Amino acid sequence: MKPLSFALIGRSGCGKGTQADLLIKHFGNLLYISTGGLLRDLAKLETAAGKGIKKILNEGGLAPDFVIIGLWMRELCNNLGENQGVILDGAPRRVIEAQAMDEFMDFLNRKDAFFPILIDISREEAYGRLTKRRICKECGKLIPWVGEFKKLEKCDACGGELFNRPDDNPEAINNRLDYYEDKVVEVINYYKDKNRLITVNGEQPIEDVFKDILKAIK
Ligand SMILES: [Zn+2]
């Protein structure tokens, strides 16, 4: 059997990271790709591109497509094992990224084992979750505003103090949600037009979202 790969898409706050963790626990051997993490690593380099990306990140701008795709490809070419799947957390966010990933999966002859999954929550729900979610001061773990997590008073990973992220202010949140309507919806339509999109209701308990994902990929 071909190794399964996933792309988790959805509005900020839909629980992509949580479902990514559950998929990794369930399937074990998945290469986790976070575009944000790759860009932050690049920004630490004293290279021309490293400096350029650092500036963009500091100003809250958007990294160019070719840098994002280039970082994915480097990661995939260097690290993806023969019997290992990929999990893209919160990507693709632009159609050109979706096309690049399709071509890569085609190259590996794995396109039929690649599942784009939309974790669907309304804009209102996303806004509510984002204004209330918290982050750990010590380890940086993001604590979503859903289910049992609402009750946490300290970080469940390290016991650190929890606070609201400075970039989770109303203006920044609305910008992120606008970007979703503007660009990510195009990605959703790209997969929908090809009858490949799996949509699950993200406004239900975490374990039910996960059950629906497993049911859909069977
Ligand atoms: Zn922590």
**Tens digit of pLDDT for each residue in 95-142?**
999 999 999 999 999 999 999 999 999 999 999 999 999 999 999 888
Considering 16, 94, 129, 134, which one is annotated as catalytic? 16
Q: Which residues surround ligand 1, an ion (CB under 5 A)?
A: 136, 138-139, 141, 155, 157-158, 160
Considering 54, 111, 141, 176, which one is annotated as catalytic? 176
Considering 93, 94, 129, 134, which one is annotated as catalytic? 93
Active site (annotated) includes residue 11: no
Q: What is the mean pLDDT of residues 44-60?
A: 94
Has residue 155 got a pLDDT over 90? yes
Question: What pLDDT, on a 0 to 100 scale, did the predictor assign at position 98?
Answer: 98
Active site (annotated) includes residue 94: no
Q: What is the mean pLDDT of residues 142-170?
A: 91
pTM of the predicted structure, to 2 decimals: 0.89
Contacts of 17 (CB under 8 A, 6+ apart): 89, 90, 142, 144
**pLDDT tens string 1-30:** 899 999 999 999 999 989 999 999 999 989
Q: What is the mean pLDDT of residues 70-99?
A: 97
Has residue 172 got a pLDDT over 80? yes
Work out the burial of residue 182: count CB atoms within 10 Å of its CB; fewer than 13 is exposed, 13-18 middle, 19 or more buried.
exposed
Considering 11, 94, 129, 133, which one is annotated as catalytic? 133
Question: What pLDDT, on a 0 to 100 scale, did the predictor assign at position 135?
Answer: 92
In angstroms, the CA 56 to CA 200 distance is 33
Percent above pLDDT 70 for the chain: 100
Question: What pLDDT, on a 0 to 100 scale, did the predictor assign at position 209?
Answer: 97
Residue 152 Cα to ligand 1 middle (Å): 12
In angstroms, the CA 185 to CA 154 distance is 35
Question: What pLDDT, on a 0 to 100 scale, did the predictor assign at position 14?
Answer: 94
